[in-house]
Amino acid sequence: MQPGIEATISTLEFPHVLREEVDHRIANSLQIISSLVRQRAGTGTVSDPQTFLMEVADRIDTVGKLHLFLARSMKETVQLDAYLKEICERLTGALAPTATSLAFDCPADCSLSPKLALPVGLITAELVSNSLKYAHPTGLPTKITLSCSRDGASGLNFVYEDDGVGFPEDFDISAPGHMGMRFIELLSKGIAGNHNWLSDSLGIRFEIALANVLP
């Protein structure tokens, strides 16, 4: 039996950036994607195979970006500003190159271990993708803001906002079919993140607080 995505995320480990460990790290990372695909396929709700495959490709790219980033830096921590910028710029360049405004506020001391950086990167990619698809149904430009701040000696807060129309009035994040939201929830729980959604007519806000983020 294939492991569930919760089990995969909770046991994800990234050792030192050494050549002999590369295959192990990549295999663990891609297992998250495999678990999600299997979960989605098992629901029988893949109504648009082309879009679904593009979403899978986006998540694989996010994993690849992390490993390239680590290979370049040769450090045991990931600086969130540079990593999240790469993810956001790739997605907006592919999906909405002329209709997106990005703003970042992640100071240099906001870094994570690779073990935590991957889920945060996947959460960010999912949030950006959802904003580009749904924030402005009329096609207006979308403004996306990401901010990070340290919380005490070892904690970190991450906030994502868009300026769209917000969730529909009767929107239920936990309802069947909202696989993107389910993915974000699973990733957040897998890293013991205290997460929260806020939505109104001025946009969507996602917050997650992480404790003990130091390697």
Q: What is the mean pLDDT of residues 52-67?
A: 72
The pLDDT tens digits of the residues spanning 96-111 come to: 766 788 999 999 889 8
Ramachandran angles phi, psi of 173, nearest 5°: -60, -35
Higher local confidence (pLDDT), 98 or 130: 130
**Which pLDDT score is estimated for 27?**
67
Going by pLDDT thresholds of 50, 70 and 90, the confidence category of residue 88 is: confident
- Considering the segment(s) 5-210 as one domain, its CATH architecture is 2-Layer Sandwich (3.30)
CA dist., res. 30 & res. 136, Å (int): 32
Helical H segments across 44-169, by residue range: 49-73, 80-95, 114-134
Q: The tokens 């009329």 sit on which residue?
A: 138
Rg, the chain, Cα only: 17
Whether the CB-CB separation of 176 and 118 falls below 8 Å is answered with: no
CA dist., res. 95 & res. 55, Å (int): 11
Whether the CB-CB separation of 84 and 78 falls below 8 Å is answered with: no
Model-wide pTM > 0.95: no
Q: Going by C-beta distance under 8 Å and a sequence separation of 6 or more, which residues neighbour residue 110?
A: 79, 80, 81, 148, 149, 150, 156
Q: Does residue 26 come out as left (phi exceeding 0), alpha (psi in the -120 to 50 range) or beta?
A: alpha
CA dist., res. 184 & res. 119, Å (int): 9
Q: What is the mean pLDDT of residues 129-144?
A: 89
Task: Looking at mean pLDDT, say which of 18-27, 79-88, 160-169 comes out highest.
Answer: 160-169
Q: What is the mean pLDDT of residues 129-135?
A: 88
Q: In the predicted model, is pLDDT for residue 17 greater than 50?
A: no
**Which pLDDT score is estimated for 109?**
84
Sheet of 194-200: strands edge to edge? 100-105, 142-151, 155-162, 203-210, 194-200
CA dist., res. 18 & res. 1, Å (int): 31
Nearest to 188 by CA among 149, 215, 160: 160
Q: In the predicted model, is pLDDT for residue 7 greater than 80?
A: no
Higher local confidence (pLDDT), 173 or 203: 203
Q: Tally helices (H) and strands (E) across the chain.
A: 6, 7
**Which pLDDT score is estimated for 86?**
85
Instruction: Among 18-27, 31-40, 67-76, 170-179, name the one with the lowest average pLDDT.
Output: 18-27
**Which pLDDT score is estimated for 147?**
96
Going by pLDDT thresholds of 50, 70 and 90, the confidence category of residue 40 is: low
Q: What is the mean pLDDT of residues 68-95?
A: 77
Nearest to 127 by CA among 158, 172, 170: 158
Q: In the predicted model, is pLDDT for residue 11 greater than 60?
A: no
